[in-house]
Amino acid sequence: MNNLRDKLLGDIRSGKVAMTPRAYFVAKIVALLAVSLGIVFVTIFIFNFIFFSLRINGHETLLGFGPRGMQAFVYFFPWYLLVLDVALVGLLQWLLRNFRLGYQIPVLYLVAGLLLGAFAFGFALDRGTPLNDVLHEGREHLPRPIGGFYEGAQRSPTAGSGMCHCVILAIDGSTLTVRDTRDSGGEGGDVSTLRITLPPNDRHATTSGLKVGDVIFIAGDESEGVIEAFGIRREDDSHSFFKPARQ
Amino acid sequence: MHVEQTESDEEIACRVQGGDIDAFGILVDRYEQKLARYGRRFVARDEDIQDIVQDVFVSAYQNIQGFDATLRFSPWIYRIAHNACVNALRKSGRTAFSYDFDALVSHHVYEDPAESERDVKDMRLLLDRGLDKMQAKYREILILHYYEDMQYRDIADILQIPIGTVSIRMKRAKEALRENIKNEL
């Protein structure tokens, strides 16, 4: 005579205790997988967007401008997007712990693997496909929030920021005169000229290889219409280094 | 009766999934004593254990359709029992389950396949003396291995942690147990 068994079987037969249908568990797994997959896509998209944002604003070029450039890169990096991505990966690893494979892998390895995978796919998506450029061109017609992302992606450097996408008008020794279009938000707006001075013997800021008419990206310290540059790169060069120039 | 004894837990669970209510009675018979023993040692008290065991079986029946019959039944039902015991400990406020940093990185797995019956008996004697004073996470892993005869891979499935974490936690649990007993003497 087993009291517990008899009580349990009695409760089951009377309908007091009922079995949850298999469909519930199947739906739960499908929902978990769908949410996990959705998070994977969003995580990859955000990494891809970070790379696009760095590319389109020329911020990644700062990495080639020595310690000052690195400092500026850290300042301009969209940290909030990275924090959002890490939080999503944290949520993803927590969801994956519902699966055997998820809890068999140590937490740090799982998080590192997911971040690395999303980082690599995001990079490949930005540099290997025209997706971002196409979405950016058609940003006004995109649904929210993706449209909002792309509308705010390109932030033109403001006057006084020390950064500029400019066209060389004249080269005189270690001084450049460039067309400053920063406040106009692009070509065709108000145009003024800007003087760029280059420190002697600085491999990051040199006029060698530059000619009148070149489009350049400059970073430096700006004061009263003069930028003392700590880094210059021709736009074509930065494209050839990071991504083939679009025709 | 003969069929009941030779049939595996997984086969019986399949019958329950198919609607055989009496088959669930066989699982209750097979696991009631084991789960009560596990609960009594893990929660470290006698009262409420019958209620906890009953809740475990109710939960097992309710969720039996979620059991994957290609895996072993025993870790599955012990997982339910683990959750019930952890909840009981939390409710009573007698333990604080802190984050397990051992689950962050991988550890070398060392499970002694040649652990003799005598080693196990000696360990059980030590456990009888020092188990109560141990942290719940160490107490549980020792109970599962030395009283419930669970292999490391089964313990990993019950606690849902990597097998390397089981190994390092077992090592730390044994050290803590020896330290407790040494301090007592």
Residue in A104, A105, A108, A109 to test binding to B, most B beta-carbons within 10 Å: A104
pLDDT in tens, A213-242: 888 888 888 888 788 888 888 876 554 444
Query: Bridge partners of A231?
Result: A219
B71 & B16 share domain: yes
The answer to whether the CB of B176 falls within 8 A of the CB of B134 is yes
Span A114-133, average pLDDT: 94
Choosing from B72, B92, B112, the residue where a domain stops is B92
Share of chain A above pLDDT 70, in %: 90
Contacts A100 to B, Cβ<8 Å:
157
Span A182-198, average pLDDT: 66
* CB–CB contact A106 B106 (8 Å): yes
B16 vs B3, more confident: B16
Beta strand A226-234 pairing with A192-197: parallel
- pLDDT at B151 exceeding the cut of 80: yes
Domain over A163-242 is classified CATH 3.90.79.10: no
What single DSSP character describes residue A21?
P
Q: What single-letter amino acid sits at A5? A: R
pLDDT in tens, A25-44: 999 999 999 999 999 999 99
B80 & B133 share domain: no
- Give the pLDDT of residue B74: 96
B82 & B112 share domain: no
Q: Which domain holds residue B120?
A: 101-184
* CB–CB contact B65 A24 (8 Å): yes
- pLDDT at A187 exceeding the cut of 60: no
Share of chain B above pLDDT 70, in %: 90
Nearest CA in chain A to B165: A106
* CB–CB contact B65 A13 (8 Å): no
Span B148-173, average pLDDT: 92
* CB–CB contact B29 A2 (8 Å): yes
- Give the pLDDT of residue A142: 82
Shortest Cα distance, chain A CAs vs residue B131, angstroms: 27
C-alpha distances in angstroms, A230 versus A166, A171, B94?
15, 17, 62
CATH number where B173 lies = 1.10.10.10
Indicate the average pLDDT of chain B: 86
pLDDT in tens, A71-120: 889 988 999 999 999 999 999 999 998 888 888 888 899 999 999 999 99
pLDDT in tens, B74-122: 999 999 999 999 998 888 876 656 667 777 777 777 767 667 777 777 8
Contacts B61 to A, Cβ<8 Å:
8, 12, 17, 19
B46 & B114 share domain: no
- pLDDT at A244 exceeding the cut of 50: no
Choosing from B29, B59, B92, the residue where a domain stops is B92
- pLDDT at B135 exceeding the cut of 90: no
Length of chain A counted residue by residue: 247
* CB–CB contact B162 A103 (8 Å): yes
Number of domains in chain B: 2
- For B59, half-sphere exposure in the C-beta direction (CA atoms, 13 angstrom radius) is 15
B12 & B86 share domain: yes
